[in-house]
Amino acid sequence: MRERLYPLEELNDIPGTKVFTAKGSREAYHLHKFCMSLMEAANRDAFKADEQAYLARFRMTEEQKQAVLDRDFNRLIELGGNIYFLVKLSNTDGWSVQKAVSSMTDLTADEYAAMMRAGGRPADGNRSIREGN
Amino acid sequence: MARITAGIAASHVPAIGADNDLGKTGDDYWKPVFAGYEWVKKWQREEKPDVVILCYNDHASALMLDVVPTFALGLAEEFAPADEGWGARQVPTVFGDPDFASHLAEQLVLDEFDLTIMNHMDVDHGLTVPLSLMFGQPEEWPVKVVPLAVNVTQFPTPSGNRCWMLGEAIAHAVEAYPEDLNVQVWGTGGMSHQLQGPRAGLINPEFDNAFLDQLSDGTDVLRAITRLEYMREAGTEGIELIMWLIMRAALGPKVEELHRFYHVPASNTAVGHIVLRPS
């Protein structure tokens, strides 16, 4: 076996973070196909008119569909999603990217915006679950 | 002979594009961000580059779903602004340089960089926001653009060191092009930011400022930063900084720093901008 700079399990040691991988990308393929379909105005209109009917066109899992309906971005990321696909959904809703991102934290959109204006979330204490630094 | 006259790095936050297009450049939140790019806008009017090799990442607009290229070079005559879910940005079509881009593709593959060649591709805010920051709101972009899309989203991305080596190969490829062209290389994205999960909002000014310093005098340190370290220190999206290393390596061993700007925040992101001249 070749030596690596670090074991890949280390990717799971970053607090509050899920690293997007080829495996996740595959699991979320149909979810992502749905997200990218929202790059066309006619599809955005169809989705807004009847979300469930529109979602039925895609071979997504029921969990993924429910998380879309709930706009539960943390859950969508757990189910393989990547934020750059998911913002197509929040853009369709007219949300700012900041509002979409803030919805994954324990802050309200206003609290999150205030945190960012104050310099953002510090790296200290947020680097490693194991080291607690 | 073509020559690389400058390297520029700039963040490509989508909200910068939206607020540029909506005329919000003067409001209290955005004023300091746009003010940071006033210097380069004036400077570009004197520099008059012919073509920009623009390192950026596609944000699930043209790539990432069906094909996930590590490095993809755009060879088309033109690249249309993508509709990212709220209508395409009302910015000019981006014109390519197929002759120059074909030459680059040929040379880089000969140099063992197995690029993907894009004969058709829409371009999203990752490419058009830096153009707006450099040139404002013209009727037509004053440069041709060779897009170089880098996978910075799906692990494993190329390493920072691999990006560095690609930049070195780009320098050789440009030098071997017979036409007299004034070429700039841009690295976009960054600086620290994380757009996902409970850790979203991460900003690390110490890491960012050290990175800016080391672009001049510590490139060996930058080349050694691992993907894991980028994500821990600068956020999962902060790893976009590897694209700055392509730009930096294309400039050769020594550079003069002409301008620098750093500001927190623009939306979720630490904005960094630097202008370097090969010396």
Q: Give this complex's ipTM.
A: 0.96
Q: Which long-range contacts (CB under 8 A, 24 or more apart) does B95-100 make?
A: B95/B140, B95/B141, B95/B144, B95/B145, B96/B144, B96/B145, B96/B146, B96/B147, B97/B51, B97/B144, B97/B145, B97/B146, B99/B179, B100/B2, B100/B51, B100/B144, B100/B146, B100/B177, B100/B179, B100/B181
- What are phi and psi for residue B8, nearest 5 degrees? -130, 140
Q: Does B203 touch chain A (CB under 8 A)?
A: yes
Residue bearing tokens 């690389």: B4
Longest dimension (CA), chain A: 54
Partner-chain contact B203 A89, CB within 8 Å: no
pLDDT at B173: 98
Say whether A116 sits in a helix, a strand or coil. helix
pLDDT at B86: 84
Task: Domain B3-271: give its CATH architecture.
Answer: 3-Layer(aba) Sandwich (3.40)
**Which tokens go with B213?**
């310093």
Q: Terminal CA-to-CA distance of chain A, rounded, Å?
A: 31
pLDDT at B271: 97
Average model confidence (pLDDT) across chain A:
97
Partner-chain contact A127 B228, CB within 8 Å: no
Partner-chain contact A6 B228, CB within 8 Å: yes
**Separation CA B94–CA B76 (nearest Å):** 10
**Which tokens go with A72?**
């539960």
Positions in chain B whose pLDDT score sits under 70: none
pLDDT by residue (tens digit) across A36-87? 999 999 999 999 999 999 999 999 999 999 999 999 999 999 999 999 999 9
- DSSP structural state of residue A21: B
Residues present in chain A in total: 133
Residue bearing tokens 């393929």: A29
* Cβ under 8 Å to B: A residues 24-83: 25, 29, 32-33, 35-36, 38-41, 44, 73-74, 77, 82-83
Residue bearing tokens 């580059």: B49
pLDDT at A1: 87
**Separation CA B65–CA B135 (nearest Å):** 31
Nearest-by-Cβ selection for A87 from B85, B154, B270: B85
Partner-chain contact B202 A41, CB within 8 Å: no
Nearest-by-Cβ selection for B60 from A6, A85, A120: A85
Residue bearing tokens 């943390």: A74
Summarize the confidence of residues A86-104 as an average pLDDT: 96
**Separation CA A101–CA B182 (nearest Å):** 40
Shortest alpha-carbon distance between residue B177 and chain A (Å): 36
Q: Does A10 touch chain B (CB under 8 A)?
A: yes
Question: Which of B67, B159, B196, B208 has the highest number of chain A CBs within 10 A, making it the mutation to test binding with A?
Answer: B196
Q: Is the pLDDT of residue A96 over 80?
A: yes
pLDDT at B62: 94
Q: Are B118 and B68 in contact (CB under 8 A)?
A: no
Specify the pTM: 0.97
Residues in chain A closer than 8 A to B14 (CB atoms)? 97
Question: Residue A56: CB partners within 8 Å, gap ≥ 6?
Answer: none
What is the third-level CATH fold of A20-117? Protocatechuate 4,5-dioxygenase; Chain A (1.10.700)
Say whether B226 sits in a helix, a strand or coil. coil
**Separation CA B272–CA B62 (nearest Å):** 25
pLDDT by residue (tens digit) across A6-34? 999 999 999 999 999 999 999 999 999 99
Q: How many CB atoms lie within 10 A of CB A58?
A: 17
Q: Does A127 touch chain B (CB under 8 A)?
A: yes
pLDDT by residue (tens digit) across B171-181? 999 999 999 99
Q: Where are the beta strands (DSSP E) in B11-163?
A: 51-56, 71-74, 78-79, 94-95, 116-118, 144-150
Residues in chain A closer than 8 A to B224 (CB atoms)? none
Q: How many CB atoms lie within 10 A of CB B224?
A: 13
The more confidently predicted of residues A3 and B6 is: B6
Nearest-by-Cβ selection for A126 from B59, B199, B207: B199
pLDDT at B47: 98
Partner-chain contact B154 A119, CB within 8 Å: no
